[in-house]
Amino acid sequence: MVTPNNDMPPIPTSRYAHIVGWGMAVPDTILTNHDLEAIVETTDDWIRSRTGIKERRIAGETESTASLGLKAARKALEVADILPTDIDLIVVATSTPENIFPSTASLIQNWLGANRAGAFDLSAACSGFVYAVDMAAQSIRSGSMQVALVIGAETMTRVMDWQDRGTCILFGDGAGAIVLKASDVEGGVLSAVLRSDGSGGDMLGIPTVGSEDLYHSDFSPNGHKMHKMHMNGGEVFKFATRVIAESIQQALVKAGIEIEDLSLIVPHQANLRIIQAAARSLKVEPELFAVNVDRYGNTSAASIPIALCEAIDQKRLKPGEYAAFIGFGGGLTWASMVIKWTGVRTADTRTGISINQQRRQISYMWVRLRTQWKRLNHQVSNIIERLPFRRNRIQRLRDKVDQL
């Protein structure tokens, strides 16, 4: 039983949402700071000293937010040894969805063959993953779901203004995923604090479909390029350093533990200087933080799950230990969460191929065949539409409608 030491009622803890699977995927192509020197007026030294970033990954032509998310999701399902048909809910946190709709989550749901799952995208910028985990965990804790797949996936390099050296040097592409599963054993997601301050909405964003002046101009009413990311770096920096420590403290209070109880903090990877400032505010060693901003840059909603996956693989969490996540970014939004790591690894990949692994492979193969079949069907219909007798019939029908 977790007893929060604030004035909130105790959380009913008969059901918990445990992290039982995790996986990440990053593109192979690396863009170094030196590569960027040829694109904008910058230097490796400036980028390293101001941000800690050395390189980032860039999605290739055949990669997308959904394909990276799918790769990460499949790995997470392997670790959890869960079948796609066991998933009740898929949430993709992203600011670079494939479409406004269908959602990236629905694309991934189809490619996995997760036929029993609901799926939707969640937009809370770089805080999106923590928001999404909380939504999924609450669905599990309420008893309405058993298994949820939460993905943070981005192709930020596709929305960069490659003439703006203040932003294009910061971002990269990638995805991370976790599987949450219901359990009556204490642990998993213990608390979350989600916040938003829309008055700071103009500090960073991507104006897109629905923006007021879309049809009249290539610029939004505030002068930002359509479909490209803009950011007031200095202001966002100040906002981030202001909220991180306070937000983590609030999540700790809700979980009923102290900062000394944490074995790991997984922060949004925006800037090494922000992480160092957070360590100073919280009066903890910087080593408590998982950091990989040097290798991937800022991957927005994907940065926390990618850093979490690496930390787990580096064995930085032992069963029974506590970890905190902290996200911050566009909205403005920020969110923190405390989890108790249970170290559940349902599948042991060293023991050979499990029956579930074979069933997952069959599911993926079946979906591929079904997709190819649908595509073929579509192409055949298109050819039939173009046949003269069919065209004439359609023309006659159109004429009829015109005469009405």
Q: Which residues contact 186 (CB under 8 A, 6 or more apart)?
A: 1, 2, 13, 16, 340
- Residues in 124-143 at the binding interface with ligand UT7, rule: CB under 6 A: 126
Pick 126 or 290: Cβ nearer ligand UT7:
126
Amino acid present at 314:
Q
Residue 93 within binding range of ligand UT7, rule CB under 6 A:
no
- Residues in 40-59 at the binding interface with ligand UT7, rule: CB under 6 A: 42, 46, 50-51
Query: Of the ranges 107-115, 116-124, 162-170, 247-255, which one interacts with ligand UT7 (CB under 6 A)?
Result: 162-170
Residue 240 within binding range of ligand UT7, rule CB under 6 A:
yes
Pick 172 or 187: Cβ nearer ligand UT7:
172
**Which H or E element spans position 152?**
strand 147-155
Which of 102, 233, 286, 343 binds ligand UT7 (CB under 6 A)? It is: 233
Least separation in angstroms between residue 169's CB and ligand UT7 is: 4
DSSP of 305-362, one letter per residue?
A: HHHHHHHHHTT---TT-EEEEEEEETTTEEEEEEEE--------GGG---HHHHHHHH
Q: How many residues touch ligand UT7 (CB under 6 A)? A: 19
Least separation in angstroms between residue 237's CB and ligand UT7 is: 4
Task: Give the residue numbers marked as catalytic.
Answer: 126, 268, 298
Least separation in angstroms between residue 291's CB and ligand UT7 is: 14
Residue 120 within binding range of ligand UT7, rule CB under 6 A:
no
Burial of 123 (0-12, 13-18, 19+ CB in 10 A): middle
Amino acid present at 386:
R
Smallest CA-to-CA distance from 288 within 319, 246, 245 is with 245
Pick 186 or 235: Cβ nearer ligand UT7:
235
- How many Å apart are CA 48 and CA 40, to the nearest integer? 15
Q: Which residues contact 402 (CB under 8 A, 6 or more apart)?
A: none
Least separation in angstroms between residue 166's CB and ligand UT7 is: 5
Least separation in angstroms between residue 122's CB and ligand UT7 is: 16
Query: Residue 336 in contact with residue 267, Cβ under 8 Å?
Result: no
Smallest CA-to-CA distance from 229 within 93, 329, 130 is with 329
Residue 270 within binding range of ligand UT7, rule CB under 6 A:
yes
Residue 234 within binding range of ligand UT7, rule CB under 6 A:
yes
Which of 117, 236, 302, 338 binds ligand UT7 (CB under 6 A)? It is: 236
- How many Å apart are CA 235 and CA 257, to the nearest integer? 32
Residue 219 within binding range of ligand UT7, rule CB under 6 A:
no
- How many Å apart are CA 203 and CA 330, to the nearest integer? 7
Least separation in angstroms between residue 232's CB and ligand UT7 is: 8
- How many Å apart are CA 299 and CA 93, to the nearest integer? 12
Residue 276 within binding range of ligand UT7, rule CB under 6 A:
no
Which of 91, 169, 178, 251 binds ligand UT7 (CB under 6 A)? It is: 169
Which of 4, 102, 166, 343 binds ligand UT7 (CB under 6 A)? It is: 166
Helix, strand or coil, per DSSP, at residue 304:
helix
Least separation in angstroms between residue 378's CB and ligand UT7 is: 39
Q: Footprint of ligand UT7 on this chain (CB under 6 A)?
A: 42, 46, 50-51, 126, 165-166, 169, 233-234, 236-237, 240, 270-271, 274, 298, 300, 329
